[in-house]
Amino acid sequence: MRAVRLSLVTAVATAAALTSMTACTSKSDASDGDAIQVTAADSTCETSAKTVPAGQVTLKIENKGSKATEVEIVFPDDRIVSEKENIGPGTKYTLTAEIKAGSYEIACRPGMKGHGVRQKLTVTGANAAAKRDPALDQAVAQYRQYAQDQADETVPLAQKFADAIKAGDLEAAKKAYAPSRIGWERTEPVAESFGDIDPKTDTRADGLEQGQKWTGWHRLEKALWQDKKIGAEEKTLADQLVADLKDWQQRVGKAEITPTSMANGAKELLDEVATGKVTGEEDRYSHTDLVDFKANVEGAQKAYELLKPVAEKNDAALTGELDKQFAALNTVLDKYRTDKASYDFVSYDKVGKDQRKELSDAVNALAEPLSKLAAAVAK
């Protein structure tokens, strides 16, 4: 089944260019150089202008509330353009950012959490980005939230893992290893998009580049299961793992996420399963591959389900097949745990050749249609 491309992308881009040309002459509430006054309080967020010209945009922020706040300029899909965290009660801050034409929001987040209080901001001028289907923006925003949740949940689990290592408790550390990876494995393509975090946290012995120091989960996995000892080096590495994961947690909000990258990310998670987990290469010392396997599938399924409303309109046969194959793969995976609510999976060294073949067949059956999801949302 092949999607037929409608040559609309060019048309839309042209229309957008024309619109922005006219927009240049339209009136703005704030002229170039004028700052937008942002008055943040515990439940309000007032802005002095709703429309500004493209270019350097300045926010003069004042926190009149009782809690520390955070002010962000965000894209329609919730990606952060620029932000200032931890603005204390009664303090002021000036935030400047280079912003292209388009629709944005200014978010004040009292207490530095939650969705925050928001105001629209329209930036006028040339080079506006083509508008996307709002349903896709919503999918991206929800996926970003999911990725953030995974990072937020992972950090304390990684801390628990690190604490056990630092206490020299081999058994507790082994127990905490696989759970500390679940959130990461669910959203690995987002983490990998930063480029510098994944090599520090998730490199396998064979993935090291010349001169690269081996750090992260798998280095510790080897210490726990193969070397069966915890030394000073491992304790330092455990702290570093937590620090690197906190870096990831901080940056999820700024990740470049698009509907296409979500769809491809879902497929990449299945690729990860096919190349690393089915073969037992990922967790070669602990044999906890099935935990990572399940997390990869869950993350792929989340991305798919968020994109499904749009994909279904374009290619209902594809989404029907994907629903079926996700269910089929999950059914096969469930054979390897007794409690469907737990992540206690059978050790992968106990999974025989025929069983691995069955898992591999189910992965292929899902990954093939999943490779067509990006086209179904890019139409």
Partner 1 sequence: MTETDTPEPGAGGQTGAAPSRRALIGWGGAGLALGAVAAGGAVALAKDDDGADRTDTAGAVEFHGAHQAGIATPVQDRLHFAAFDVKTDDRAEFVQLMKDWTAAARRMTAGRAVGEGAYGGLAEAPPDDTGEALGLPPSRLTLTIGFGPSLFDKFGLKDRRPAALVDLPPFPGDNLDRSRTGGDLCVQACADDPQVAVHAIRNLARIGFGKVAIRWSQLGFGKTSSTTPGAQTPRNLFGFKDGTRNIAGTETGRLEKFVWVGDGDGGAKDAWMHGGSYLVARRIRMQIEVWDRTSLQEQEDVFGRDKGEGAPVGKAKEHDEPFLKAMKPDAHVRLAHPDSNDGITILRRGYSFTDGTDGLGRLDAGLFFLAYQRDPRKGFIPLQRRLSAHDALNEYIQHVGSAVFAIPPGVRDAHDWWGRTLLSEEA
353 makes contact with partner 1 (CB under 8 A): yes
Choose between 173 and 263: whose C-beta lies nearer to partner 1: 263
Choose between 243 and 317: whose C-beta lies nearer to partner 1: 317
Per 3-state DSSP, the chain is made up of helix, strand and coil in percentages (nearest 5) of: 55, 15, 30
- For residue 259, the one-letter residue type is P
Helix locations, 113-231, DSSP H: 134-166, 170-177, 182-186, 188-192, 198-201, 217-221
* Shortest Å, Cβ 366 to partner 1: 8
Choose between 76 and 259: whose C-beta lies nearer to partner 1: 259
Choose between 87 and 363: whose C-beta lies nearer to partner 1: 363
User: Residue 148: phi, psi to the nearest 5?
Assistant: -65, -45
What is the maximum span of the chain, computed from C-alpha positions, in angstroms? 70
375 makes contact with partner 1 (CB under 8 A): yes
From 5-13, 140-148, 165-173, 203-211, give the range in contact with partner 1 by CB under 8 A: 5-13
Site for partner 1 in 304-333 (CB under 8 A): 321, 325
Choose between 16 and 366: whose C-beta lies nearer to partner 1: 366
From 94-102, 284-292, 296-304, 358-366, give the range in contact with partner 1 by CB under 8 A: 358-366
Helix locations, 230-288, DSSP H: 232-251, 259-272
* Shortest Å, Cβ 211 to partner 1: 34
Choose among 278, 307, 305: nearest CA to 293.
Answer: 278
User: Mask: binding to partner 1, 172-211, rule CB under 8 A, as x and -?
Assistant: ----------------------------------------
Three-state DSSP state, 354: helix
> What distance, in Å, lies between the first and last C-alpha atoms of the chain?
14
Choose between 263 and 290: whose C-beta lies nearer to partner 1: 263
Distance CA 90, CA 64 (A): 5
User: Residue 172: phi, psi to the nearest 5?
Assistant: -65, -40
Choose between 58 and 364: whose C-beta lies nearer to partner 1: 364
Distance CA 181, CA 203 (A): 13
For 280, counting Cβ atoms within 10 Å of its Cβ (0-12 exposed, 13-18 middle, 19+ buried), the class is middle
340 makes contact with partner 1 (CB under 8 A): no
* Shortest Å, Cβ 59 to partner 1: 36
Distance CA 235, CA 167 (A): 9
Q: How many CB atoms lie within 10 A of CB 70?
A: 20
**Contact, 69 vs 50, CB < 8 A?**
no
355 makes contact with partner 1 (CB under 8 A): no
Choose between 12 and 126: whose C-beta lies nearer to partner 1: 12
6 makes contact with partner 1 (CB under 8 A): yes
Choose between 2 and 27: whose C-beta lies nearer to partner 1: 2
368 makes contact with partner 1 (CB under 8 A): yes
**Contact, 59 vs 38, CB < 8 A?**
yes
* Shortest Å, Cβ 138 to partner 1: 20
Choose among 300, 371, 373: nearest CA to 333.
Answer: 300
Site for partner 1 in 261-290 (CB under 8 A): 263
130 makes contact with partner 1 (CB under 8 A): no
* Shortest Å, Cβ 365 to partner 1: 4
Name the residues that contact partner 1, by CB under 8 A: 2-7, 10-11, 260, 263, 321, 325, 353, 357, 361, 364-369, 371-372, 374-375, 378
